Amino acid sequence: MIRRQFLQTLGLLGVAPGLASCFFSIPKELYPAPDFGNVTLLHITDCHAQLLPVYYREPAANFGVGVSYGRPPHLAGKEFLGFFGIKPGLREAYVFTHLNFAEAAAIYGKMGGFAHLATLIKQIKQASPHGNFLLLDGGDTWQGSATSLWTQGADMLAVCNLLGVNVMTGHWEFTYGSAQVLANIRDFKGEFVAQNVSLTEEAQFASGAESDAVFKPYIIKEFNNARIAIIGQAYPYTPIANPKRLIPDWQFGIQEQRLQKTVDEIRQKKSANVIILLSHNGMDVDLKLAARVSGIDVILGGHTHDAIPKPVWIANSSGKTCVTNAGSHGKFLAVLDLDIRQNRLRDLRYRLLPVFSNLLEPDTEMQDLINSLRKPYLAKLQQPLAVADKLLYRRDSFKGTFDQLILDALLTENDTQIALSPGFRWGTTLLPGQPITYEDVMNHTAITYPNTLRRNLSGSEIRAILEDAADNLFNEDPYYQQGGDMVRVGGMSFRCEPNAEFGQRISQMRLNNGALLDANKAYTISSWASVNQIAEGRPMADVLVDYLK
């Protein structure tokens, strides 16, 4: 729907003149043609298999500790708008914050969708005077929906191949298991790169491989005497945050020294004029990495779902590195225009473009493909289960209303005193009054280890779980952060002090009846998505469906 049609539709819907006036912030050309540089890199990340446009509410709280306090990406709401100079009430405020989300969503509509993303990419390419493009995918693309789980990522491979993704790295892709990952990569028309994934010593010895590399560490792309190196950085904590049993022969890590060696090798051989790190570290890790590894021009980051409209420049021993993060769920397309002359990067321009599905016509070929991929599953996906009585969202530092729904289901269906749920940042948002379908349930539960677990834990064991989760989130050293939000709890409450020392952050653990948890007393616990043991209870989706019914 073009801008004029969109405004006409608002009138037909009876939108009040005061509300409609905010649409005059939409320029006649929402996505202006590139007029800078001679190479353009397009970057998507953390789409989480959302083929269609979605609602996705940004966090109301994004706590940073130590030097990260009050700095990007740890800003939310009015503080975010003030830091980046965005006026409240405009479309940008809807895109980047939680403020008045339900009301703004009713006006501005859903975001993303691969058919709309395809239109935007084509529009940018067609308007380009140079024609030199690379489309980069930062990972977390093959997971996050029912169809991606049921097809083991094949649906996303099909749309990414049609979209023209040139290079990607990964994280949740690895949860399909190493054999499936390698099979999917063989069907991927682009390049999969990850300098920080290697074979274990045992696996290398058993295979007789000369190198421990599992994937290509980097690739070089050349355009009219402009050479771009893309180094891959997969999620470094995959065997910790996800079950190691799925990838038993692969080891991960930040691999800072290996990365520096790779950068130096590219520089010394003069293989490229520009070095890009395609990262799934999370933004805090990338900011620290940029200060410690020299020679990287730009880090195109992902994993923590931070939508940062302006890059952060980090000084290091060789100059400065530009660090970015491009949001999630298909809401954004990052555009990095490079001015490369006389074999060096002279300047760059970065833009983070919101993908408004109401303002972009869906690409016909992509929409036809998406329809065909979804058709066999539509009846199950569209099964109505309930109606949202409030805004249902996941993303926030400590709690989300859809997470509370999951916790209530665990408490009720598994008949336990306490429920625990991971602080995943993926999962779409539902507006008040919106039907909750089976697809919505799967958008929050579609993983390869979804089974629930019922067990007894002492008060001290529960506290240890919460302390460990808090340290993953609030450790002052970014290299010890894993990038999720705080574990969600039901049936109890607790106090958390983010700036306290390890082991001292959690206190005042109380059951809902007000009783303090006894360190030596056992409590019945229900949880799901177990990383370190194989759970045999019903999948979380089945539990939630029964609860909603």
CATH of the domain at 249: 3.60.21.10
- pLDDT, position 30: 63
Residue 308 lies in a domain: yes
Length of the chain: 549
71 and 100 inside one domain: yes
Do residues 393 and 190 make contact, with C-beta atoms less than 8 angstroms apart? no
360 and 407 inside one domain: no
- pLDDT, position 33: 57
223 and 95 inside one domain: yes
Element (H, E) at 347: strand 344-354
24 and 59 inside one domain: no
- pLDDT, position 248: 97
Q: In what order do the strands lie in the sheet with 167-168?
A: 191-192, 167-168, 133-137, 39-44, 332-341, 344-354
26 and 46 inside one domain: no
391 and 314 inside one domain: no
Looking at residue 416, its amino acid is T
Residue 457's CATH number: 3.90.780.10
- For residue 83, which phi and psi values (nearest 5 degrees)? -65, -40
Angle formed at CA 411 by CA 409 and CA 413, multiple of 5 degrees? 60
**pLDDT tens-place string over residues 194-238:** 999 999 999 999 999 999 999 999 999 999 889 999 999 999 999
Residue 433 lies in a domain: yes
- pLDDT, position 1: 40
Residue 457 lies in a domain: yes
481 and 340 inside one domain: no
Q: Indicate if the alpha-carbon torsion angle 281, 286, 290, 292 is positive or negative.
A: negative
DSSP label at 87?
P
The domain boundary, picked from 351, 372, 393, lies at 372
Do residues 170 and 143 make contact, with C-beta atoms less than 8 angstroms apart? no
Q: Indicate if the alpha-carbon torsion angle 406, 412, 413, 419 is positive or negative.
A: positive
Distance CA 271, CA 290 (A): 21
Residue 293 lies in a domain: yes
Distance CA 311, CA 219 (A): 24
Distance CA 122, CA 119 (A): 5
- pLDDT, position 34: 59
The domain boundary, picked from 354, 372, 390, lies at 372
467 and 321 inside one domain: no
Structure tokens at 393: 């969202």
Looking at residue 166, its amino acid is N
What is the total count of domains within the chain? Answer: 3
26 and 40 inside one domain: no
Residue 201 lies in a domain: yes
- pLDDT, position 227: 96
pLDDT digit string (tens) for the chain, length 549 residues: 444 444 444 443 333 333 333 333 334 456 665 578 999 999 999 999 999 999 999 999 999 998 899 999 999 999 999 999 999 988 999 999 999 999 999 999 999 999 999 999 999 999 898 999 999 999 999 999 999 999 999 999 999 999 999 999 999 999 999 999 999 999 999 999 999 999 999 999 999 999 999 999 999 999 988 999 999 999 999 999 999 999 999 999 999 999 999 999 999 998 899 999 999 999 999 999 999 999 999 999 999 999 999 999 999 999 999 999 999 999 999 999 999 998 899 999 999 999 999 999 999 999 999 999 999 999 999 999 999 999 999 999 999 999 999 999 999 999 999 999 999 999 999 999 999 999 999 999 999 999 999 999 999 999 999 999 999 999 999 999 998 899 999 999 999 999 999 999 999 999 999 999 999 999 999 999 999 989 999 999 999 999 999
- pLDDT, position 328: 98
Distance CA 86, CA 352 (A): 14
444 and 393 inside one domain: yes
209 and 68 inside one domain: yes
Q: C-alpha 355: how far from its chain's center? A: 15
pTM summary value: 0.94
Range of the domain at 19: 1-30
**pLDDT tens-place string over residues 409-439:** 999 999 999 999 999 999 999 999 999 999 9
DSSP label at 375?
G
Residue 241 lies in a domain: yes
CA distances (Å), origin 117, targets 142, 180, 355, 371: 16, 27, 7, 15
- For residue 346, which phi and psi values (nearest 5 degrees)? -90, -40
46 and 94 inside one domain: yes
